[in-house]
Amino acid sequence: MVEWTYKQHLREMKVGLARVSSVGQNLESQLIALEEYGCDKIFSEKKSGTTTKGRTALKDCLEFVREGDEFVVTRIDRCSRSVLDLQLIVKDLESKGVTFSATEQSINTRTAEGKCFLNMLSVFSEFETNIRKNRQMDGIKANKDKFKGRGQTIDVDKIKTLKYEEGMGATAIAKTMGIDRTSVYRLLKRVEL
């Protein structure tokens, strides 16, 4: 991470924001990209981008930037996945005299083309998030019965008969019933308790 001092912020700065959605994800590639772009200070967080609520690094970054600074992300969805939130963030930045840039997309709010592209991509980003959410909900609804548990599907009485009356071992029982040998051991152990 780039070290900075208060005196450095008296000049125009490139201020980066790196974000991933979950703790298991890695920020490293974004941090490297922002450093290579020349960011003087980088804020980072592991929070969902679907809302600005609870995003302390974003809030701190927005409070930190000053007139003439450039607010930098690698892609716009790293800032926000909501069109409205992104537009409010950009409006806040513009009111401070701060530009918005994305290193991996042709976005820079200094130009009319950059502003237009930003708005188009933000719409697609939110659309993608909504589609993913709908697919997840459809999958959950379609598989709802599978998540309730199947109950006992192996005939324990048959296992007992094969073991105690016919003297078969676990491997032979598993082969006869078409089940895994560990299931035979588990069920026999339960019966013996």
Active site residues: 21
Give kind and range of the element (H or E) at residue 83.
Answer: helix 83-96
For residue 46, the cross-strand partners are: 20
Q: Which two tokens stand for residue 151?
A: 């109950």
Phi-psi group of 169: left, alpha or beta (phi > 0 → left; psi -120 to 50 → alpha; rest → beta): beta
Report d(CA 72, CA 42) in Å as an integer.
9
Residue type, 87: Q
Residues 6+ apart with CB under 8 A from 87: 119, 122
DSSP calls for 111-128: SHHHHHHHHHHHHHHHHH
Report d(CA 52, CA 54) in Å as an integer.
6
Report d(CA 14, CA 100) in Å as an integer.
10
